[in-house]
Amino acid sequence: MQDAFFYIFAFLTLVFGFLVIANPFSRNPVTSAMFLVLTIVSLAGLFVLLHAFFLAAVQILVYAGAVMVLFLFVIMMLDLKEEERRKIRKLGVVGGLISAGAILAIFLSSLLKREALLGAVQSPAVEGGTVPLAKLLFTQYLLPFEIVSVLLLVAIVGVVLLSKKDLK
C-alpha cells in the first residue's frame, strides 16, 4: 500500500516538476508557478511517507502557502505578458542536458557501488512528529535556531530597502 503511494507521489512530483520548466501548452509564468505549487504538495506527500509529518505541514504552509503567494504577487505586479516565442538557443539546451546527464551519471555510478548505503536501517523507526523535532530544535540546535531568526530579520530589512522607490 505504502509502496503504491510512493510511486504515485513520485510520478506526480516528476511530472509536475517537468511542467514547471517546460510546459508545451503555455509559456505563461503563472502556469509554471501553479505547477510548482502542485510539485511542492506532492513532495509533501512523499515527506508523509517518510514519516516527516512536521516537515510535510511546514512544506505546505511555508512553501505552497507563503513563498508561492509571494511569487504570484510579483508576477502580478510585474504584469508579465505571455512570453513570446524566441529562438531556442541550441547551446543552452545542449549544455543543460549535458550537465544534467553528467549529474545523473555520477549519481547512478555511486548508487551501483552500494557500499555506502549498506549502513541504511532496513526497518526505520524514526518519527518526525512535532515533539521530537522541537526537542532537538530547542536543545541541541538552539543557537542555529536563534541565528535563523536574525537572518529573517536581515531579509526583512533588506527587502524593505530594496523595494524603496528611489533605489540609489
Partner 1 sequence: MNVGLEHYLVVSVLLFCLGLVGVIVRRNLLVIYMSLELMLNAANLALVAFSRYTDSLDGQVFVFFIITVAAAEVSVGLALIVALYRKRQNAHVEDLTTLKL
CB closer to partner 1, 24 vs 124: 124
**What residues between 108 and 137 interact with partner 1 by CB under 8 A?**
111, 117, 119-121, 124-126, 128, 132-133, 136-137
What value does the CA radius of gyration of the chain take, rounded to a whole number of Å?
Answer: 21
Residue 1 makes contact with partner 1 by CB under 8 A = no
Minimum distance of partner 1 from residue 151's CB (angstroms): 6
By rule CB under 8 A, what count of residues binds partner 1?
80
CA-to-CA dists, residue 162 to 75, 79, 159, 166, angstroms: 17, 19, 5, 9
Minimum distance of partner 1 from residue 62's CB (angstroms): 6
Mapping DSSP to helix (H, G, I), strand (E, B) and coil, where does residue 161 land? helix
Contact indicator for 81, 29 with CB cutoff of 8 Å: no
Minimum distance of partner 1 from residue 82's CB (angstroms): 11
Residue 105 makes contact with partner 1 by CB under 8 A = no
**What residues between 38 and 97 interact with partner 1 by CB under 8 A?**
39-40, 43, 46-47, 50-52, 54-55, 58-59, 62-63, 66-67, 70-71, 74-75, 77-78, 80, 83, 86, 88-89, 92-93, 95-97
Cα 161 versus chain centre, distance: 27
Contact indicator for 11, 46 with CB cutoff of 8 Å: no
